[in-house]
């Protein structure tokens, strides 16, 4: 039984079908305009063979956007918007089950940021002991799975404390958040705290992502070319590309990657020792970061992109919640036939 999954983030809305034939991500920054969600869903429904009665599972993180006064307000807004397009939408809760829009309106905080949980629950069906890692555009989830049980805190606040959520991604993270200083031709330099460059610039410059994969806005609203990325990276040390040179700008990009890999490695090492797990299962557009960190720790690395394809890996929470809903509906059908 096919189902559709929606993962509604503050920057991107992701959609996937349970069979993986559909896997799409739309850049829709809700903090700029909360109606972006409605526009994305309307465009999707017009261009795809879906109907209001289709089975749709939903997870969300966009409720944290500062266009909402509280997360509660954001959850209810997202729920109401989705329901206006999909009348039978089911929302994945912190308890790991599905609920109706009415239940969301009654207890909205049960549905706060459960996209990582849907992914981990789905992964746990195949990998009973693993650390699931999803590196996206903005954040990194690090979720231990022990004997088929998800061993992570329930809220993002608690996960931040436990290094199960690292607020670093491979597109939207400010370079100056990752680096307090850089080495330029053997000399140390401080960095500007302006948002001159983001991680997408580093990885575009290094050839680890393509211009098409650079889906968010550039900091200067300029081009998505290697040269443009290097210009932005040069500004991080209050220089320009003419003054700094290509080699030095590229070295900043490399230091961005080294810092992000090191942060992830530290978190993985801690979880691996605590839970005695040597297997990493990785999803997201930043799988290359996870692979490098896992290799440094001599941990087994399993790529979701290798199993389901790169497109599905990039929208894995949407794919996961679609599959969890499809499985629940198949179970309901089986029970009704007995």
- Reported as a single tens digit per residue, the pLDDT across 219-250 is 999 999 999 999 999 999 999 999 999 999 99
Contacts of 336 (CB under 8 A, 6+ apart): none
Distance, CA of 70 to CA of 65 (rounded, Å): 9
Q: How far apart are alpha carbons 324 and 322 in whole angstroms?
A: 6
**For the segment 54-112, what is each residue's pLDDT rounded down to a tens digit?**
799 999 999 999 999 999 999 999 999 999 999 999 999 999 999 999 999 999 999 99
User: What tens digit of pLDDT does each residue of 247-305 get?
Assistant: 999 999 999 999 999 999 999 999 999 999 999 999 999 999 999 999 999 999 999 99
On whether the CB atoms of residues 303 and 289 are closer than 8 A, the answer is no
d(CA 193, CA 64): 23
The whole model's pTM is what?
0.94
Residues 6+ apart with CB under 8 A from 246: 230
For position 53, what pLDDT does the model report? Answer: 54
As given in the structure block, the two tokens for residue 67 are 């266009």
Q: Provide the 10 A C-beta neighbour count for residue 326.
A: 20
Do 326 and 122 meet the contact criterion of CB atoms below 8 Å apart? no
pLDDT at position 337, please? 55
Enumerate the β-bridge partners of residue 6.
Answer: 15, 58
Residues 182-211 have pLDDT tens digits of 999 999 999 999 999 999 999 999 999 999
Query: Residues 70, 38: contact at Cβ < 8 Å?
Result: no
Which pLDDT belongs to residue 95? 95
Predicted confidence at residue 333, as pLDDT, reads 56
Phi-psi region of 166 (alpha: psi -120 to 50; beta: other; left: phi over 0): beta
């Amino acid at each position: 039984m096919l189902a559709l999954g929606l993962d509604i983030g503050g920057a991107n809305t992701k959609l996937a079908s349970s069979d993986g034939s559909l896997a799409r991500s739309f850049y829709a920054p809700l903090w700029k305009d909360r109606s972006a969600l409605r526009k994305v869903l309307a465009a999707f429904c017009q261009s795809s063979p879906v109907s209001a009665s289709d089975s749709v599972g939903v997870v969300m993180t966009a409720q944290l956007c500062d266009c909402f006064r509280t997360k509660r307000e954001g959850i209810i807004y997202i729920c109401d918007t989705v329901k206006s397009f999909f009348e039978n939408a089911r929302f994945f809760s912190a308890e790991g089950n599905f609920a109706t829009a009415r239940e969301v309106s009654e207890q909205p905080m049960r549905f706060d940021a459960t996209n990582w949980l849907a992914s981990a629950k789905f992964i746990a069906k195949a990998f009973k002991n693993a650390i699931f890692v999803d590196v996206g555009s903005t954040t990194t989830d690090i979720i231990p799975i022990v004997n088929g049980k998800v061993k992570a805190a329930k809220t993002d606040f608690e996960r931040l404390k436990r290094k199960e959520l690292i607020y670093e991604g491979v597109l939207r993270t400010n370079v100056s958040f990752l680096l307090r200083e850089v080495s330029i031709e053997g000399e140390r330099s401080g960095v500007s705290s302006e948002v001159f460059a983001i991680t997408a610039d580093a990885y575009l410059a290094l050839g680890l992502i393509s211009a098409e994969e650079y889906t968010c806005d550039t900091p200067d609203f300029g081009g998505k070319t290697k040269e443009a990325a290097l210009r932005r990276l040069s500004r991080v040390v209050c220089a320009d590309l003419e003054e700094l040179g290509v080699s030095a700008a590229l070295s900043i990009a490399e230091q961005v990657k080294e810092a992000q890999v090191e942060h992830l490695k530290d978190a993985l090492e801690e979880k691996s020792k605590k839970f005695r797990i040597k297997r990493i299962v990785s999803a997201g557009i930043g799988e290359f970061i996870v692979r490098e960190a896992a290799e440094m720790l001599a941990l087994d690395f399993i790529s979701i992109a290798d199993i389901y394809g790169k497109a599905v890996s990039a929208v894995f929470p949407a794919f996961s919640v679609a599959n969890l809903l499809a499985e629940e509906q198949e179970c309901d059908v089986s029970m009704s036939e007995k």
